[in-house]
Amino acid sequence: MSTFSGSSDQATPLSVVTRWSDRVLLMEVGGEVELLNAPRVESAIMNAFDLRPEILILDFSGVTFLSSAGLAVLVRAHNRAGTDIGFRVVVDGPATVRPIQLTGLDQEIECFSSQEQALAAVAGS
């Protein structure tokens, strides 16, 4: 398991926790994914892709604010996954669901409302 938390700016808290389950890598992101933190989240995601999981589940249910910079991170991560790595996102609550739906990303990226649903989709793949 890998973890980092904190921020140089206390107004924008962030945490990322990763754990493996077989060939599935689960990344739990908490806090604000905005202009200052988005590069840190993206770096963690891209490093995760380098580990070559079969599926990467990005759990944003702990995200309290998702800006356009955070949405751009999701788009780049989805593009990076391509057809080689399954990419799923967990979003729950208006801070994450609403911006993803408004931009239509839920039509491009597999979104689930819980880790259990995302993991069940993995088992059904």
Q: Provide the CATH topology of domain 2-124.
A: Transcription Regulator spoIIAA (3.30.750)
State how far the alpha carbon of 58 is from the alpha carbons of 8, 9, 10, in Å: 23, 24, 23
Q: What is the pLDDT of residues 6-51, one digit of tens each?
A: 444 455 789 999 999 999 999 999 999 999 999 999 999 999 999 9
Closest to 25 measured CA to CA, from 45, 5, 4: 45
Give the Cα-Cα-Cα angle 80, 39, 79 (nearest 5 degrees): 15
Least confident of 6-20, 80-94, 99-113: 6-20
What pLDDT does residue 122 have?
Answer: 78
Q: Is the pLDDT of residue 86 over 50?
A: yes
* pTM for the full predicted model: 0.87
The residue extents of the domains of the chain are 2-124
Q: What is the pLDDT of residues 55-85, one digit of tens each?
A: 999 999 999 999 999 999 999 999 999 999 9
What pLDDT does residue 125 have?
Answer: 61
Contact 86, 125 (CB under 8 A): yes
